[in-house]
């Protein structure tokens, strides 16, 4: 009787493990996309955009828009360029909210950021 229970528990554990592994693999397949992006600011006030495409099926477009939806920058990268990066210098841009979209095929990844005016301090010295 004890052997039957141990066998049953082991079989149940194997079925649960196989089911969990299959579900995890299905979730990973659904999450995987045709490209990955890295969008991050630098210490010098610039934004780096890195793109790593899985295949050369479609062109990639980078679009930078202001808060009014006006396109400030647009670039289309060739199909065969699988890895590339761009650095955006934001020094000349007006303060406000911006969105950065990376589009490849039917997929789109977006980030938004806000530029604010840097406060300058004034000093008054009386002699």
- Within-domain flag for 122: no
44-71 pLDDT per residue, tens: 888 899 999 888 888 899 999 999 999 9
Section 102-126 average pLDDT = 83
User: 80 and 20, same structural domain?
Assistant: no
Alpha helical stretches, state H, 1-127: 2-31
Q: What number of CA atoms fall less than 13 Å from residue 67's CA on the CB side?
A: 9
- Within-domain flag for 125: no
User: 56 and 46, same structural domain?
Assistant: yes
Measure Cα distances from 70 to 67, 74, 99 in Å.
Answer: 7, 11, 10
User: 24 and 80, same structural domain?
Assistant: no
pTM above 0.75?
no
- The range of the structural domain enclosing residue 7 comes to 1-32
- Within-domain flag for 124: no
User: 101 and 50, same structural domain?
Assistant: yes
CATH code, domain with 47:
2.60.40.3080
Q: What is the DSSP letter of 38?
A: E
Cβ–Cβ under 8 Å, residues 68 and 75: no
């Amino acid at each position: 009787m004890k052997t039957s229970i141990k066998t049953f528990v082991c079989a149940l554990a194997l079925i649960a493990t196989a089911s969990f592994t299959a579900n995890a693999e299905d979730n990973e397949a659904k999450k995987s996309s045709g490209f990955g992006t890295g969008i991050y600011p630098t210490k010098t006030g610039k934004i780096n955009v890195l793109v790593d495409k899985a295949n050369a099926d479609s062109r990639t477009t980078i679009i930078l828009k202001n808060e009014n939806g006006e396109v400030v920058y647009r670039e289309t990268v060739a199909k065969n360029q699988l890895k590339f990066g761009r650095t955006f210098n934001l020094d000349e841009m007006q303060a406000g909210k911006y969105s950065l979209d990376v589009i490849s095929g039917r997929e789109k990844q977006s980030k938004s950021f806000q530029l604010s005016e840097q406060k300058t301090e004034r000093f008054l010295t009386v002699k």
